[in-house]
Structure 1
């Protein structure tokens, strides 16, 4: 009975958190839209779409590989984490350089190009811990 109660509690808690985060996201989008206006929000959406695409590209499935490798019985966790973080940072740098090249060929306004570069740079700096967070 204790296991069933824990499962029910976790499902209820996760459901409440999901609803709360969805409401918070909708309210946030409302504020952002009003602040930026139609054109500004469109530029913001382009930056987010570009960032989302390149985030997936840089991931290389490293979170899944990390989980699989660390779960092995004789795993050297420190070595695995070090290697994965190194790979993630290198892949993020490669994606950042790719973003630099690609945005020069796309007809985006200067503000959008700057936003993409800022998002890509932030991604490079946060890429090391993102392997651990998923």
Structure 2
């Protein structure tokens, strides 16, 4: 790997980790008060590629713990250190889609051959899938 590429990867990793919150999820940028699970799911694919598993797992755990009663997840904002549910999301099914993509990438043997850490996440996918299917009248 070239020194330039390694420097870029290190910089990207440092930026992402600077957004990691104690609760397990990530803010949009180091000084932003927004938590958007959709964009977090997309961004954390980079950490999977860099084999940085702990922050990804913590976000997936946070994601499952923050599903609303309909089985969806909303955006959050930070008020100080408190995460406040905004009560809305841009697209519920897109959030789940990017979450499944992130978890799936982490479970690919070529990415993490010694530790299938996303397995516990996949033990609960029915709640995510059924919430969308039932609200959209899919069969």
The TM-score, its normalising length taken from structure 1, stands at 0.29
| Structure with max Cα Rg | 1
Task: Tell me which protein shows more helix as a share of its residues.
Answer: 1
The TM-score, its normalising length taken from structure 2, stands at 0.28
Of structures 1 and 2, the one with the larger relative CO (CA 8 A, separation 6+) is 1
